[in-house]
Copies of this chain bind each other. A is one copy, B any other.
Amino acid sequence: MSIGTKTFNHATSGQVPDMGGLVAFLGTNGFSGEAENWDEGRVSGFPTAASVLEFERNQAIFSDGDPAGSFYKVTSGAVRLCKLFADGRRQIAGFCFPGEYFGLACQGKEYALTAEAMIGTTVVRFPHSCLADLDRSSAEFRSHLVALLCGELSLAQNHLLMLGRQTVKERIASFLLMMLDRRGRDRRDGVMLDLHMGRQDIADYLGLTIETVCRTISDLKRAGVLGVPGPREIVVKKIRLLQDTANGEA
């Protein structure tokens, strides 16, 4: 399945193991916060074997029900975490971009959802046994872990608001604003945004159909709020209007 596997099995450096920004992404949205500058590949501190893996577009990294043994950090590309119903319905619980973690939320012994590469993606895989060494990790790291988990939950809460009580326009606008923040883009007119996903992914994240997503984006384009240079690219032309739309003031 996985193509291009390089395994590091270096000796532990003899010191207290550095958890290397094991920033606890427990399975929903990746949330890094200021974690970006924590390491970015400081794999070397880990006491156990870590592997670098590459995945093609739409390739599964792990699937709902698989035995859970590892968690992952995205180094390049993008990952979606989703749940599939028997009848084909799909809900995306979150996305992961470079610097973010996923695969820790294994209730019991199995993954509760499926992780797939949305584009060509490189990840680092860590065995869960790394977590058992949490005791010996630094206090700084541990409080960082808690902060990131809080951020995780806040992201999920925001997602709940969108799905439960926002209109279609509000959801689309909120989604785009979230993507701007997530990808480190400023909130200013003319900013270009690479979505790295198709309309179906947006629909399954927002609990809508692909048609509704298309229509709403077209509406925003017609209103001069957005530009759409390509299917996976968005230019925000009037950020203020987009924010108003997200807040239901349009």
On whether the beta carbons of B151 and A156 are closer than 8 Å, the reply is no
Which partner residue on chain B sits nearest A147 by CB separation? B107
**Is A179 on the interface with B (CB-CB < 8 A)?**
no
- Complex-state Cα separation, A130 to B26, whole angstroms: 23
User: Which range contains the number of A residues in contact with the other chain?
Assistant: 35 or more
Q: A165 contacts B134, CB within 8 Å?
A: no
Binds B, one of A72-80, A135-143, A187-195: A135-143
**Is B85 a contact of A157 with CB atoms below 8 Å?**
no
Distance A152 CA – B146 CA, assembled complex (angstroms): 13
Task: Tell me if A131 counts as interface (CB < 8 A to partner B).
Answer: yes
Residues of B within 8 A of A154 (CB): 27, 105, 107, 112
A36-44, A46-54, A89-97, A119-127 - interface stretch: A89-97
In the complex, what's the smallest C-beta–C-beta distance from A54 to chain B, in angstroms? 27
C-alpha gap A91/B106 in the complex (Å)? 27
Distance in angstroms between the alpha carbons of A164 and B146 in the assembled complex = 28
- For chain A residues 73-118, which have a beta carbon within 8 Å of chain B? 83, 85-87, 89-91, 93, 104-107, 112-113
How far does the alpha carbon of A165 sit from the alpha carbon of B131 in the complex, in Å? 33
Let me know if A107 and B151 touch, CB within 8 A. yes
Q: CB distance B160 to A91 under 8 Å?
A: yes
**A223 at interface, CB cutoff 8 A:** no
* Complex CA distance for A113 and B26, rounded to whole angstroms: 21
Q: Is A70 an interface residue (CB 8 A)?
A: no
Contact A150 B104 (CB under 8 A): yes
Partner of A83, one of B86, B156, B161: B161
Given contacts A134-B143, A139-B135, A248-B87, contact A105 B160 (CB under 8 A): no
**Whole-angstrom CA separation of A204 from B159 in the bound complex:** 15
| A69 CB–B CB distance under 8 Å | no
Q: Is A174 an interface residue (CB 8 A)?
A: no
Give the interface of A toward B (CB within 8 A): 24, 26-28, 83, 85-87, 89-91, 93, 104-107, 112-113, 131-132, 134-135, 139, 142-143, 146, 149-154, 156-157, 159-161, 163-165, 204, 206-207, 247-248
13 cross-chain CB contacts under 8 A:
A26-B149, A27-B154, A28-B156, A85-B248, A105-B150, A106-B150, A107-B150, A113-B157, A134-B143, A135-B139, A160-B160, A163-B163, A163-B207
